[in-house]
């Protein structure tokens, strides 16, 4: 039920900005999420997998994006981010493209995603940074390590940027 309401909110938000644009304007939309819940039993493991709750959340994200036309799905090269992206990417028949969190919003990334709708899966210390980098301001704070439910939406219409933050439980 909540997922259905959130999908409608997301679609309404996206439609609002797209419909406000003239047909000649290009719209770029970025959806940012942090990876789902990870296994925390081995503190030395730098590349843990998703736990049961994380697998459920990854599948729930697929449901949230079921009515969103995505052109690309990006992830960092970690098990937890790729596993979070996989259900959505598979449902859209899209490959998971890797990005380097040390080189976010590079010129080549901008060129590859211009005019597209993109899902980007990151980490508690990169998701907000990536969104802020696009916006050109420090609007969003770092995510707490127990927060796997934020959805940032950044829309660019002819260099005018808007953003919103939703919490999807």
pLDDT digits (tens, 9 = 90+) for 86-144: 999 999 999 999 999 999 999 999 999 999 999 999 999 999 999 999 999 999 999 99
Judged against a pLDDT cut of 70, whether residue 6 lies above it is answered with no
Distance CA 1, CA 18 (A): 26
Q: What is the CATH number of the domain that holds 70?
A: 3.40.50.1240
The confidence band for 21, taking pLDDT boundaries of 50, 70 and 90, is very low
The DSSP letter of residue 43 is T
Domain count, the chain: 1
Q: What are phi and psi of 60, to 5 degrees?
A: -65, -40
CB 58 within 8 A of CB 86: yes
CA end-to-end distance (rounded Å), the chain? 11
Global pTM value: 0.87
pLDDT band of residue 8 (cuts 50, 70, 90) is: low
Can you give the residue range of the structural domain that contains 140?
A: 2-167
């Amino acid at each position: 039920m909540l997922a259905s309401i959130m999908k409608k909110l997301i679609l309404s938000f996206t439609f609002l900005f797209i419909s406000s644009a003239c047909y000649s304007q290009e719209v770029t939309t970025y959806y940012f999420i942090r990876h789902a819940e990870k296994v925390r039993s081995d503190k030395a493991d730098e590349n843990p997998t998703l736990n049961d709750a994380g697998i459920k959340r990854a599948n729930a994200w697929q449901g949230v994006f079921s009515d969103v036309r995505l052109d690309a799905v990006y992830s960092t090269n970690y098990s937890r981010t790729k596993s979070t992206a996989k259900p959505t990417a598979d449902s859209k028949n899209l490959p998971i493209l890797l990005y380097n969190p040390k080189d976010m919003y590079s010129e080549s990334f901008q060129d590859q995603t211009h005019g597209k709708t993109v899902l980007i899966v990151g980490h508690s210390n990169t998701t907000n940074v990536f969104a802020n980098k696009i916006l050109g301001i420090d609007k969003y704070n770092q995510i707490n390590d127990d927060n796997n439910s934020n959805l940032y939406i950044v829309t660019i219409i002819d260099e005018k940027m808007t953003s919103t933050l939703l919490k999807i439980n």
